[in-house]
Amino acid sequence: MRDTGEGGGGDKISKTEKDQSWIPKIIKKRVCTTFVEDSLSNGVQCQCGGARDAHASVALGDYFSTAMVNHWDSAQHSSEYPTDAFGELQFVGVSRRHSYFLRLSWDTPPSAVYNLMTGNWGLPAPNLVVSVVGGEDRTKVKTWVREVLRQGLVKASQSTGAWIVTTGMREGVGGCVGEAVRDHATAASSVSLNKVVALGIAPWGMVHNRQQLGSFPAKYSIENTSKDFCCLDNNYQAFLLVDDGTVGRRGGETRFRAKVEEYISHQRTGIWGSGSIDIPVLCMLVSGEASMLERVDRSLKTCMPWLVLAGSGGLADFLSDVLENLSLAPASNEVDGEVGPSVDLKDRVAERFKKHFPSEAESDKLVERALSIYQNRDFITFYHGEQEGPNDFDTVLLKTLVQASKQRTSADASPYSEELKLAVTWNRVDIAKSELFNGDIKWRYEDLEDSMTDALINNKPQFVRLFTENGLNIMEYLTYGRLENLFRSVADGTVLYQLLQCRLVERLGTAPPVPTFSNLQDSSNVAAGNMKSSPVADISLFEVAGVLDLLMGDVCQSFYYDALGLEQTSSKRRALKRASKLLRSDCLYRAERCPYPWASLFIWAVLQNRSEMAIYFWEMSVESVLSALSGCKILRELSKLEDETETKLSMKELAQRFENLAHDVFGSCYRSNESRSFTLLITQSQVWAGTTCLQMGMGADARLFFSHDGVQTLLSQIWWGDMKRNTEVWKLLLTFFCPFLCYTNLITFRKQEDHQQEEGGGGPNEDGQGRDSDSLYGTTIFSFSDIKNIEADAQGATSPRTAAIKGIPHSHTPPKRPFIVSRWRQFWFAPVTSFLGNVLMYFLFLLLFAYVLMVDFKPPPPSGPSNTEYVLYFWVFTIVCEEIRETFFLGIVTWRQTMRVYIQDVWNKCDLVAIMLFIIGLICRMFESSYGFGRDVLCVDYMVFTLRLIHIFAIHKQLGPKIIIVGKMMKDIFFFLFFLMVWLMAYGVANQALLYSYDPRLDHIFRRVFYRPYLHIFGQIPVEEMDGNIIFGKEWDMECTDNVTLIQGGAEPCRSLSNNWLVVILLIVYLLVTNILLINLLIAMFSHTFTVVQANSDIYWKFQRYNLIVQYHSRPSLAPPFIILSHINLIIKRNIRKVPSLKIHHFVLQLSKKETNRLMTWETIQKEDFLTAQTKIQRNSDSERLKRMSVKVDGVVKHMAENRDFDHRLRALENEMEYCSNALSWIVDTLAQGSTFKPPRPPPTLKDEFASSPNSA
């Protein structure tokens, strides 16, 4: 389409116009090509309404053929051409968003138009279409009809997400609907604004100023119109201007409008047509002319429901009179085997037609149409707006559609299923509760199944809650196949959709492997390009497992591998092959029920960032603490991949909400029972792929959760082992150097009786009838040194503590270790002892390293290295061995997960740098040519090893938070250095160029440009060199020359004194900016960081404390270099004795199924108590009280309105009674005055019962 407006942009075509260039190839317009003379215009006008001069020469050419034509027909006498009016429509002088318009032929396929509106124009797919028919003339619309349109129709459309279809003109009902949409758009929020779509379908020939619609974008001005044309209403979102070749003629859009309504009625509701019903279409008749009987009759034959506003005038009153008042007894007669309307009924219909339309000429045909409508009267509902009021108009719409659907459904279907589906489609849970789930209807599972799927896919959590509370068994509902269908319904454009597509194309072999977090953004474009060849229907649980592995693979095993028949330990390539082979077969697993349905639905909702639905699924799922931490983990990983700021912020907010829920629920558990709450933290979960609360909390970066007193109490108990937590450090150090002091009372250990009480041993049976019930959940407050050394007893359950850890019931008491052995293990296998040993030995290592560098660093071989240097090499070798053990023997399945977990730690990166520098320095110092460079590298490496002490002291309660503050301030320094480098370079280059006109020495240039200005900040300013005036400084006595040859040979160049004043000014400005502005800016940044971080530094420190405890809990007791003995012992145990290691599982308890169920039951009780308390607090809040008060006030107002209605009815009844009383009095008087007959008794007199009543006083 070209820009034909006066202010057009010439040959420049906008991007939007190029995007819509395909429209004229599909959509056509109509032009009259045959001039058929209108007998009433004296040959000046065609029957199409256009003037003779407006027709082309082709239309005027064949006079003989046109003389034979008596009636103009659009199909025969007009031709199609590419449309030239479409795109955006801007209303001049109106500040609102643009509308869309399209000029199209009346026989355009409705499918193309519907796809254009929903796809290109972005109109949301409707949940309901209300087509307002009638009221198109210029007569004034009744007041109550305006109220029905404003408070009833538009309000109901806003709550149901409906399209309102009218002519879109600024006259009659179309103008009233436009005003109502405008009023609701002004009062509603921006979110609800998009729910109401006003669509205008008008005849092209009736549009005033339609010549303005030929430009792009079209600018349309609203003016006072003549009687033959109407202006478009600026409150509509879209206009379909139907062209049948006529000008100034109404009704040209009727056929196309009916086809569009019929087409939409066969489309499905919901996202991507995932709803349980077709889009309901309802025609609403307001007033109307007699010619609309044909329109009503045709749509009724297609089972289209109609809502007639009785009392609005015209055709609406006629249909109300005929269908509501005529007797139904003589409805039909049977003549010659054919059933038709009776003669009496036809006469009465004709009589009423003459009454309502006395001026109609072709009354017989219209009466036949009325009789045909009478046969389909079950699809018509009458609404008496003057009596009923507009407040419950949405309920009226629902009942109208339900009544029509009951006529179409079979007898086997539930009579309430259609009403339920409509309520779900409109998201009207209030109607469902009051009308369908009030206890009168007994719902079957089959009736709720489809509606449940609709509610899940289209994000309607209130209906999901309603269905589960009223008979839907989630265990029966959620199969693996249905879970796959839920993931296939994910909206495109989301991060989850991209991740699923990446996994899908990887399995189908049409794209590179699935990207990691670092290159996801680049690979998402590749996946999007292959999306067309990879249908969404191919998404399976294997792709879902791949996405979850990407998000939680560092803390969990793979999800849904058991359902797919895959092994957890299988490699990625092998799993991919087996999954591809399985999915090409019958996929029998899809019929199996999901063992943990609420957890699976929780994952599905969290991956789509559906907060309300995810919260409900969390409330219904087991393992609430771990589930909340898992949701927090998923959302925080997804937020790293999300590009949209608003979506990313909502993900972070929901993640924080789940972390708060985990913190609060665990707090409730901790207050209830400490022992069980500790067990809860370290129990291995079968629902969440073998992880624990501590592991998931660490992976989710849940600092608030780790700051809870219960978590810190458990960590402190682990840290101190069997020793009392108030033991002084000097006693540990003294015992460390004098090991035999552990057998004295210098250090207090917990007694064995305390362990037995905490372990709850000695019960006579497994059910624990004779022991503490806490032991059924495993032991938690005990020495975790036994977990460290449990591999020594792994060949058999030799202790009750071991059995409790493994979740194996025991019935015998094993022999105790000797006191010497047990006390030795209690001291040396505590993590705090291992930590102190490593700290002491690390200080010795640094002293040895410093001694070698400064005192005993000998030349390369054969003169060196020295013996102390060889000891240093061996020491570093043992450190490397320990790093290898920590990296590759953590129990993680794949190497990729191993490296990911290791690299995530900043201090592990520091260790890698230190080791790599040491290896480089060691290799270089062995050769004469690189000896000096190797020593320099080792010196730098010593600094890296020394900085490693910061991590060691992070366990300290006072130093730990300060270390975190220092780390945060390092980020501020980088921003400060950026500003400082800008000024350094600006001043340094200018100063060097002004002082020295020529100096080719690069080393001197670098020092004077960067190094010297940096020293200026600290007051080192060479005034004698920079200031040529000797009055203010001593004379510069360095020998210099201006000879270029000598300068190139290395001589010092002389200064340039001509620009001395400018050098001094630049120095003043530079010192002013750096020493005053930038330094104070840095101080302010540090103060702000300290203030912000200080409040949460304790939380950060408690979170990082877990990593250090895990590290030293899993470490051997001996520190480097003696740790090599522990490594040799481990090699012998693992490779020769084949003793499995349980040390790789950090704080993990594997309970039996019975004990796990009891633990989950107890946790669920605590969660329900917490939710009950939260609900009580919320109900007592001021906002909830105001809501309840508002509901009560609304109820009172409604009752008052009903009372007013009753009052009106009573007054009408009183008037009728008064009339009857007067009439009877007149009859009595007349009969009494006559002499025809004499009554046997006098007429009765009225007794004043109210006056004689005893209660009248």
pLDDT, tens digit, 9 for 90 and up, residues 1118-1164: 889 999 998 898 888 877 877 766 555 557 888 888 999 999 999 99
Q: What is the pLDDT of residue 1047?
A: 82
Q: What is the pLDDT of residue 869?
A: 94
Is the separation of the CB atoms in 799 and 756 below 8 Å? Answer: no
Residue range 643-654: mean pLDDT, rounded: 93
What proportion of the chain, given as a percentage, has pLDDT over 70? 81
CA atoms within 13 A on the CB side of 768: 15
pLDDT band per the 50, 70, 90 thresholds, residue 328? very low
Q: What is the pLDDT of residue 892?
A: 53
Nearest to 1119, CA basis, from 1109, 1131, 1127: 1127
Q: What is the pLDDT of residue 1106?
A: 87
Residue range 679-706: mean pLDDT, rounded: 91
Q: What is the pLDDT of residue 925?
A: 93
- Of 493-507, 568-582, 972-986, 1001-1015, which gets the smallest average pLDDT? 568-582
Asked if the model's pLDDT at residue 945 lies above 90, the reply is yes
Q: What is the pLDDT of residue 570?
A: 65
Q: What is the pLDDT of residue 1?
A: 41
Nearest to 594, CA basis, from 621, 616, 570: 621
Q: What is the pLDDT of residue 586?
A: 81
pLDDT band per the 50, 70, 90 thresholds, residue 1250? very low
Task: Tell me the per-residue pLDDT of 772-818, one tens digit each, with 9 for 90 and over.
Answer: 333 333 333 334 444 334 333 433 333 333 333 333 333 344 456 78
Q: What is the pLDDT of residue 630?
A: 96
Is the separation of the CB atoms in 610 and 494 below 8 Å? Answer: no
Is the separation of the CB atoms in 672 and 642 below 8 Å? Answer: no
Residue range 956-976: mean pLDDT, rounded: 83
Asked if the model's pLDDT at residue 1025 lies above 50, the reply is yes
Task: Identify which of 354-368, 385-399, 695-709, 1002-1016 has the greatest average pLDDT.
Answer: 695-709
Asked if the model's pLDDT at residue 649 lies above 60, the reply is yes
Asked if the model's pLDDT at residue 1257 lies above 50, the reply is no
What proportion of the chain, given as a percentage, has pLDDT over 90? 25
Asked if the model's pLDDT at residue 316 lies above 80, the reply is yes
Q: What is the pLDDT of residue 321?
A: 85
Q: How far apart are CA 458 and CA 869, in angstroms?
A: 70
Residue range 927-949: mean pLDDT, rounded: 93
Nearest to 1067, CA basis, from 1013, 1104, 1015: 1013
pTM assigned to the model = 0.75
Q: How far apart are CA 562 and CA 686, in angstroms?
A: 12
Asked if the model's pLDDT at residue 103 lies above 70, the reply is yes
pLDDT band per the 50, 70, 90 thresholds, residue 680? very high
Residue range 398-424: mean pLDDT, rounded: 73
Q: What is the pLDDT of residue 348?
A: 85
Asked if the model's pLDDT at residue 760 lies above 60, the reply is no
What does DSSP assign to residue 1209?
A: H
Task: Tell me the per-residue pLDDT of 439-478, one tens digit each, with 9 for 90 and over.
Answer: 788 888 888 888 899 899 989 999 999 999 888 899 999 9
Q: What is the pLDDT of residue 1172?
A: 92
Residue range 374-402: mean pLDDT, rounded: 78
Task: Tell me the per-residue pLDDT of 489-514, one tens digit each, with 9 for 90 and over.
Answer: 998 889 999 999 999 988 887 544 44
Q: What is the pLDDT of residue 331?
A: 45
- Put the strands of the sheet holding 281-285 in their side by side order: 218-220, 86-91, 99-105, 238-243, 197-203, 162-166, 128-133, 281-285, 306-310, 380-384
Asked if the model's pLDDT at residue 361 lies above 80, the reply is no
pLDDT band per the 50, 70, 90 thresholds, residue 1090? confident
In degrees to the nearest 10, what's the CA dihedral of 857, 860, 863, 869?
40
Asked if the model's pLDDT at residue 1097 lies above 70, the reply is yes
Q: What is the pLDDT of residue 147?
A: 83
Q: What is the pLDDT of residue 525?
A: 40
Task: Tell me the per-residue pLDDT of 187-214, one tens digit each, with 9 for 90 and over.
Answer: 665 444 446 789 999 998 888 888 888 7
pLDDT band per the 50, 70, 90 thresholds, residue 587? confident
CA angle, corner 1011, sides to 1005 and 1012, nearest 5?
Answer: 85
> E strands of 457-589, at which residues?
none
Scanning the structure block, which residue is given the tokens 């040519």? Answer: 929
Q: What is the pLDDT of residue 1245?
A: 65
Asked if the model's pLDDT at residue 624 lies above 90, the reply is yes
